[in-house]
Amino acid sequence: MGTPKRERQKANRQIRLQELAKEQRKEKSKKVVMRVVMAVIAVVALVGGVYLFSGNDSDTITASSTSGLPGATTTTVAPRCLAPATTTTNATATTSTVPAKPTVKQPGADVTELKTTVLKEGTGDGAKNCDVISVHYIGVLSKDGTAFDNSYDRSEPFTITLGAGSVIPGWEQGLVGAKKGSQIQLDIPAALAYGDTGQGSIPAGASITFVIDVMDIQQGTPNPAATATTTVSPTVSPTTAPAGTDTTAAATPTT
- The torsion region of residue 31 among left (phi > 0), alpha (psi -120 to 50) and beta comes to alpha
CA distance 58 to 80: 8
Higher pLDDT, 96 or 147: 147
What would the pLDDT profile of 30-85 be if each residue is shown by its tens digit? Answer: 777 778 767 767 665 555 554 555 544 444 444 444 334 444 444 445 677 877 66
CATH number of 84-222: 3.10.50.40
The answer to whether 142 and 97 are in contact (CB under 8 A) is no
192 secondary structure, DSSP code: G
- pTM of the predicted model as reported, rounded to 2 decimal places: 0.58
- pLDDT of res. 42: 66
Question: Residue 28 CB: number of other CB atoms within 10 A?
Answer: 10
What value does the mean pLDDT take over residues 172-178? 97
- CB of 151 closer than 8 Å to CB of 160: no
Which string of b and e fits 8-19 if b means at least 16 CB within 10 Å?
A: eeeeeeeeeeee
DSSP 202-237: B-TT--EEEEEEEEEEE--EE-GGGG-EEE--SSS-
* Rg (alpha carbons) of the chain, rounded to whole number: 29
CA angle 95, 101, 105 (to 5 degrees): 135
Task: Look at residue 128 and tell me whether its pLDDT is greater than 90.
Answer: yes
**Does the pLDDT of residue 94 top 90, yes or no?**
no
Q: What is the mean pLDDT of residues 148-159?
A: 96
